[in-house]
Amino acid sequence: MFTGIVTDIGRVASVAETRNLRRIRIESGFDPAGIALGASIACSGPCLTVVAVGPHAGGAWFEVDAAAETIARTTVCDWGEGTRLNLERSLRIGDELGGHIVTGHVDGVAEIVRRVEMTPGDAGPWGPTARFDVRAPVGLSRFVAEKGSVCLDGTSLTVNSVEDDVFSVLIIPHTLAVTTWGDRKAGDRLNLEVDLMARYAARLAEARA
């Protein structure tokens, strides 16, 4: 379980292909002593299991395996050497729940329709702010509600507005600086996990109907 609060930006160092798996090595600033084999790390959304780990300059490298289902339903298929990833370690008892409850089980891939920058005069002393219009994949837009929570590429965000299958999120200067959102542009694909409570509420409504 995660919160959608990114704690590091990792970098894909290598990708090895087999018939059924992709083994991905990721370099991070995490302490290698704190990463156990079998640990869960959210990598730009998907919860992936650590299968190897070792020290790296200033931090650690770790390897994860992505199977066919993950490759088919997420952007893992797009990752290559140099891809930057939002990383979050799994929650521990007593940790602050700063975002919202995130499982790391990606529901589908969304697409950025438009990025709108704040004008320099409106940006303020803390840096620029950007609004992103995002198109939800077929069948998932019904789970996205105005002022509700959504997880995009492992980041917990509040939905500003919804119109049909397009919703908007506002990214503050801090988030632009400490996540991969600063690099995002129209046409980019994002891992989308809808709010857990919205999913269960919809399922209960369907069952009653």
CATH class of 108-208: mainly beta
Is 75 one of the annotated active-site residues of the chain? no
pLDDT at 147: 93
Query: Of 52, 68, 158, 202, which is the active-site residue?
Result: 158
Query: Of 67, 72, 177, 186, which is the active-site residue?
Result: 67
Cα–Cα distance measured from residue 97 to residue 171, given in angstroms and rounded to the nearest whole number: 19
Q: What residues does 14 pair with on adjacent strands?
A: 25
Task: Parse the chain into domains and list their residue ranges.
Answer: 8-89, 108-208
8-89 matches 108-208 in fold: yes
Query: Of 49, 90, 103, 141, which is the active-site residue?
Result: 49
Is 49 one of the annotated active-site residues of the chain? yes
Q: pLDDT tens digits for the chain (209 residues)? A: 899 999 999 999 999 998 889 999 999 999 999 999 999 999 999 999 999 999 998 899 999 999 999 999 999 999 999 999 999 999 877 777 777 889 999 999 999 999 998 765 555 556 689 999 999 998 899 899 999 999 999 999 999 999 999 999 999 999 999 999 999 999 999 999 998 877 777 767 767 76
Is 30 one of the annotated active-site residues of the chain? no
Is 47 one of the annotated active-site residues of the chain? yes
Global pTM reads: 0.90
Query: Of 7, 40, 90, 141, which is the active-site residue?
Result: 40
Residues in Cβ contact with 63 at an 8 Å cutoff, skipping those fewer than 6 apart: 23, 24, 25, 26, 50, 51, 52, 53
Is 175 one of the annotated active-site residues of the chain? no
Query: Of 90, 103, 105, 198, which is the active-site residue?
Result: 105
Burial class (CB in 10 A: 0-12, 13-18, 19+), 113: middle
Architecture of domain 8-89: Beta Barrel (2.40)
Query: Of 42, 43, 47, 66, which is the active-site residue?
Result: 47
